[in-house]
């Protein structure tokens, strides 16, 4: 609505309206750009965790009960998934001889989930 309105009115009013539209668009691009960057970081860190979990399983013939069990032999520390205030950690659980690693890509839903027995990524939600 603001963009078409910016085409009408006095030149000073048009400039002010266009400036407001530009600020809104820049903020939206910044939010989505930072989310994309955080998801790229999370996927890279998830691949590191997946490699460590697979190495743990090969060594111990079982999946770790939690990610802290990987430290210090397989990882120096358990990484956070993303640089955000909420949903920044990886979720990991073992159920029925299968392990799952996931993180929130776009709150509150859209959670990429790695299934170890299937050896593939799926989307939960």
The predicted-structure confidence for 55-86, as pLDDT tens digits, reads as follows: 999 999 999 999 999 999 999 999 999 888 87
Please count the other Cβ atoms lying within 10 Å of the Cβ belonging to residue 86: 9
Q: Does residue 37 contact residue 44 with C-beta atoms inside 8 Å? A: no
The predicted-structure confidence for 14-58, as pLDDT tens digits, reads as follows: 788 888 889 999 999 999 999 899 999 999 999 999 999 999 999
Structure tokens at 48: 């590191």
Please count the other Cβ atoms lying within 10 Å of the Cβ belonging to residue 32: 11
pTM of the predicted protein model: 0.80
Residue 78 CB partners (closer than 8 Å, separation 6+): 49, 67, 68, 70, 71, 90
The predicted-structure confidence for 83-98, as pLDDT tens digits, reads as follows: 888 788 999 999 888 9
pLDDT on residue 1 = 66
Q: For residue 92, give the nearest of 78, 107, 106 by alpha carbon.
A: 78
Computed over every residue of the chain, the mean pLDDT equals 90
């Amino acid at each position: 609505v603001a963009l078409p309105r910016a085409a009408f009115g006095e030149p000073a009013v048009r400039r002010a309206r266009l400036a407001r539209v530009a600020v809104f668009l820049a903020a939206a691009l910044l939010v989505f750009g930072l989310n994309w960057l955080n998801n790229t970081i999370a996927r890279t860190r998830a691949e590191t965790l997946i490699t460590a979990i697979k190495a743990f399983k090969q060594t111990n013939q079982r999946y770790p009960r939690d990610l802290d069990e990987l430290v210090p032999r397989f990882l120096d520390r358990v990484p956070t998934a993303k640089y955000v205030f909420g949903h920044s950690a990886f979720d990991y659980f073992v159920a029925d001889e299968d392990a799952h690693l996931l993180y929130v890509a776009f709150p509150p839903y859209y959670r990429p989930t790695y299934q170890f027995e299937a050896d593939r990524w799926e989307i939960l939600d």
